[in-house]
Amino acid sequence: MAKGTRATAALDRAGIAHGLHAYDYAAEVDSKGVAAAQALGIAPARVFKTLMAWVDKQPLIAVIPSDQRLSLKKLAAQCGGKHAQMMDVPEAEKRSGYKVGGISPFAQQRPATVLFASAAQDHERIWINAGQRGLLLDIAPADALRFLQARCADLCE
């Protein structure tokens, strides 16, 4: 069994059930979430990727299905902002405390508002990065939303 991370330790402390799933991380692929889904034999729509963004200079975490693309226009609108842009890699790693390819929305160094794509509610369990490359956790969407004090929104193109 894979060892835990800061993210899984936080979920454990909160008493939130989750499973851990290790896979061979492939840095050279375009869609790391889709590659993780294929490696674990899970539908890509159930594997969610964590994206770090800015909306009018406010940090934001967007969690969307790995087989979809984030709409920056929708993200800004959902936050009542005018402009959204992706956070650059060094800033995302600094704020989250995780390496890109392993960023989890759970237990980030500098927490920010979290929005999940509405599709999260379509599944009994979803898979999200556990805080290190090559490790996903599965969790009930309602538990993830409650723990992160997040909400679902229309975020994808």
Beta bridge partners of 62: 51, 115
Strand ranges for 1-157 from DSSP E? 19-22, 47-55, 58-65, 84-86, 113-117, 126-132, 135-139, 151-153
Beta bridge partners of 63: 50, 116
* pLDDT higher than 90, residue 89: yes
Q: How far apart (Å, rounded) are the C-alpha atoms in residues 69 and 100?
A: 17
Can you spell out the DSSP letters for 132-151? ETTEEEEE-HHHHHHHHT-E
Q: How far apart (Å, rounded) are the C-alpha atoms in residues 95 and 56?
A: 17
| 69 domain residue, yes or no | yes
* pLDDT higher than 80, residue 1: no
* pLDDT higher than 90, residue 4: no
Average pLDDT for the chain:
94
Q: Strands 47-55, 84-86: parallel, antiparallel or unpaired by DSSP? A: antiparallel
The string of pLDDT tens digits covering residues 21-77 is 999 998 777 788 889 999 999 999 999 999 999 999 999 999 999 999 999 999 999
pLDDT confidence of 154, banded at 50, 70, 90?
Answer: very high
| 102 domain residue, yes or no | yes
Q: Output the six-digit token pair for 142.
A: 């309602």
CATH code for the domain of 58: 3.90.960.10
pLDDT confidence of 2, banded at 50, 70, 90?
Answer: low
Domains contained in the chain, number: 1
The whole-number average pLDDT for the span 110-131 is 96
Give residue 28's pLDDT.
79
Whether the CA torsion 153, 68, 140, 149 is positive or negative: it is negative
* pTM of the predicted protein model: 0.94
| 1 domain residue, yes or no | no
Q: Identify the domain containing residue 132 by its residue range.
A: 6-153
The whole-number average pLDDT for the span 130-142 is 96
Write the DSSP symbol of residue 156: B
Whether the CA torsion 152, 154, 155, 157 is positive or negative: it is positive
| 82 domain residue, yes or no | yes
pLDDT confidence of 96, banded at 50, 70, 90?
Answer: very high
The whole-number average pLDDT for the span 82-97 is 97
* pLDDT higher than 80, residue 121: yes
| 91 domain residue, yes or no | yes
Look at residue 99 and give its three-state secondary structure: coil
